[in-house]
Amino acid sequence: MKDAQTIRPRERDAVLQSLRAGVVPRQGQHLIQVGRAAEVKALLAEIERIADGGSGFRLVIGEYGAGKTFFLYLVRSIALEKKLVTMHADLGPDRRLHASGGQARSLFTELTRNLATRAKPDGGALPSIIERFVTSALQDAGTRGLSVAKVIQERMVSLSELVAGYDFAAVVHAYWKGHEDGNETLKGDAVRWLRGEFTTKTDARAALGVRTIIDDANVYDALKLLARFVRLAGYGGLLVCLDELVNLYKLPSTQARSANYEQILRMLNDCFQGAAVGLGLVLGGTPEFLLDPRKGLYSYEALKSRLAENSFAAPGLVDFTGPTIRLTSLTPEDLYVLLSRIRHVYAGGDKSRYLVSDEGIQAFMNHCSQRIGDAYFRTPRSTVKHYVDLLAVLEQNPHTTWQEQLGHVEIQQERNPDLVPPEEEGAPGDDPTRGAGATPKAGGDDDQLAKFRLG
């Protein structure tokens, strides 16, 4: 099985580097994938439907640390394999679905920056997609003996019927003209427009002769256009992954939240009614983002009725076809498997090079559990990070054993770096070799608030 397969050094290093930095690896997710077979299967079916010109909408809901981000990355890598174009971005206070101060446009810019294809999995694929579209139009024009402009116009008909489609088509046309005339500025401006980087209509008009820009009000419309466009360029469709939707929950006004939830409702309606062609949306969020009847998606009545979970899917029964997929948190057994996988990756797939024994993994888990209690299951990120750090020390210092090093592993609660007093900076446990005595104000006195729960 997986243990048997060899691991390419490039993949190994990428995975380990990401894990040490506390982020999800961009490649090689399958090497450390644990469980979730049914969920992956459900999304695979969805991806095939999108590639078929259909549409899809999924909410991936799980507690902090349940592995939502990891899951979304995995889905994206599958989508790329299936010749879809993917985009992804984390929502945040300055990146929203709807806004009036540029935050929605900023989300769109981030999405286009992360636009990826199988050939360019790390993003920045927009120019090559346009190039591919233009090249295929050139070929088509050649074989059919038509003018290129005519072919492009013909292909873009389906776009023009959508909101803002006319200007979208005009910008693509401008790109072709730049291509033909060797006008790099014009090409660059067209790409900038498609990335949502124009901030004023005046600038866009001067540069490209179009009257509109992609801004806060039409981000979702632009995504729909892009989905059709990538199909015209020869891809299967577009998968958009949005993560950290809890940031919409945190928006400090009911009005702003409702406006954002309304965009989610539009997405959901379009996908279920088939109005979006070749577009899939996967949104990751926490349970309170979905369920809180006062601030969550359920506070928006129209969404609540559409998202309500299948009432027949009682505990023990599953339904992976609904719009909501629940990811359960990792169990200690899952975590054990995960740590074993990491050990395997670290050893480059060579069992003889394992740095810790099975017993050592168990001891490491016990140690973490004693240090921060059950919370460590909820934050596998820091557990994994420290585990990889430990492996690194063991690898480079062959004379030490995991038994000696275990006592030095210092796991701490995550802290907001913007709230750490300047004189304390550098103190939060970035350095696993730092002894407990060298860490000021750790443990003891802080525990009361570290585990604070509102009653």
Partner 1 sequence: MISSQSSGSADPEDTGPSRAFGLLHEKVRRWIWDQRWQELHDIQEQAIPLILEGERDVILAAATAGGKTEAAFLPICTKLVDAPRPSIQALYIGPLRALINDQFQRLELLCRDLAIPVHRWHGDVPQGRKRAVLQQPEGILLITPESLEALYVLHGLRVPTLFRDLAYVVIDELHAYPGSERGRQLQSLLHRLELALHRRVRRVGLSATLGDMAMSASFLRPQEHADVAVVVSRAAGQEIQLLLKGYREGPLDPALRPGDGDDTEGDESLSRFAIADHLFGTLRGEHNLVFANSRTNVEWYADRLRVRSEAARVPNEFFPHHGSLARELREHVEERLKEQATPTTVVSTSTLEMGIDIGAVKSIAQIGCPPSVASLRQRLGRSGRRRGDPAILRLYVAERGIDPNTLPQDALRIQLVQTVAMVQLLLAGWCEPPARKALHPSTLVQQLLSIIAQHGAVSAADAWRALCDGGPFAGVDQSMFAMILQTLGKHDLLTQLGDGTLTLGLAGERLVGHYTFYAAFQTPEEWSLVAPNAILGTLPVLHPFSEGAYLIFAGRRWKVTSVEEERRTLHVVPSGAGLPPSFAGMGAVIHERVREEMRRVYLADDLPAFLDREARSLLAEGRESFHRLRLDSSDVIDHGGDTILFPWAGDTTVSTLTLLAKAAALDALEDGLSVTVRDATPARFLERMRTFTREGLPAPTELATGMANLRREKFDLYLPTEALIADCAARYLDLDGAERVLARLLGSASQR
Residues that bind partner 1 (CB under 8 A): 63-65, 93-94, 246-247, 249-250, 252-254, 286-288, 292, 294-295, 378, 413, 415-422, 425, 441, 445-446, 448-455
Smallest distance from partner 1 to CB 114, Å: 20
Cβ neighbours around 122 below 10 Å, total: 9
Distance separating alpha carbons of residues 82 and 382, to the nearest angstrom:
32
Q: Is 16 or 290 the residue whose CB approaches partner 1 more closely?
A: 290
Smallest distance from partner 1 to CB 421, Å: 6
Q: Is 252 or 437 the residue whose CB approaches partner 1 more closely?
A: 252
Residue 81 has which token pair?
A: 């394999």
DSSP string, 157-206: HHHHTSTTHHHHHHHHHHHHHHHHHT-HHHHHHHHHHHTT----HHHHHH
Q: Is 124 or 443 the residue whose CB approaches partner 1 more closely?
A: 443
Q: Is 144 or 451 the residue whose CB approaches partner 1 more closely?
A: 451
Smallest distance from partner 1 to CB 341, Å: 25
Burial pattern 430-443, b for ≥16 Cβ within 10 A else e, equals: eebeeeeeeeeebe
Residue 349 has which token pair?
A: 């797939």
Smallest distance from partner 1 to CB 383, Å: 15
- Exposed, middle or buried, 318 (CB in 10 Å: 0-12/13-18/19+)? middle
Residue 76 has which token pair?
A: 């994206």
Smallest distance from partner 1 to CB 289, Å: 9
Q: Is 101 or 142 the residue whose CB approaches partner 1 more closely?
A: 101
DSSP string, 246-280: HHHHT-S-HHHHHHHHHHHHHHHHHHHHT-SSSEE
Q: Is 86 or 247 the residue whose CB approaches partner 1 more closely?
A: 247
Q: Is 229 or 289 the residue whose CB approaches partner 1 more closely?
A: 289
How is residue 212 annotated by DSSP?
Answer: -
Smallest distance from partner 1 to CB 372, Å: 12
Smallest distance from partner 1 to CB 376, Å: 13
SS3 319: coil
Q: Is 189 or 244 the residue whose CB approaches partner 1 more closely?
A: 244
Smallest distance from partner 1 to CB 450, Å: 5
Q: Are 96 and 103 in contact (CB under 8 A)?
A: yes
Name residue 59's beta-bridge partners: 283, 324
Q: Are 127 and 178 in contact (CB under 8 A)?
A: no
Q: Is 294 or 399 the residue whose CB approaches partner 1 more closely?
A: 294
Q: Is 1 or 419 the residue whose CB approaches partner 1 more closely?
A: 419
Smallest distance from partner 1 to CB 66, Å: 10
Residue owning tokens 């004023």: 200
Q: Is 229 or 377 the residue whose CB approaches partner 1 more closely?
A: 377
In whole angstroms, how far apart are CA 402 and each of 26, 358, 395, 398, 406?
29, 12, 10, 10, 6
Quote the crossing angle between the two packed helices 380-396 and 9-20, to the nearest 10°: 120
Smallest distance from partner 1 to CB 417, Å: 8
How is residue 242 annotated by DSSP?
Answer: E
Smallest distance from partner 1 to CB 286, Å: 5
Q: Are 108 and 196 in contact (CB under 8 A)?
A: yes
How is residue 95 annotated by DSSP?
Answer: B
The radius of gyration of the chain's CA atoms, rounded to the nearest angstrom, is: 25
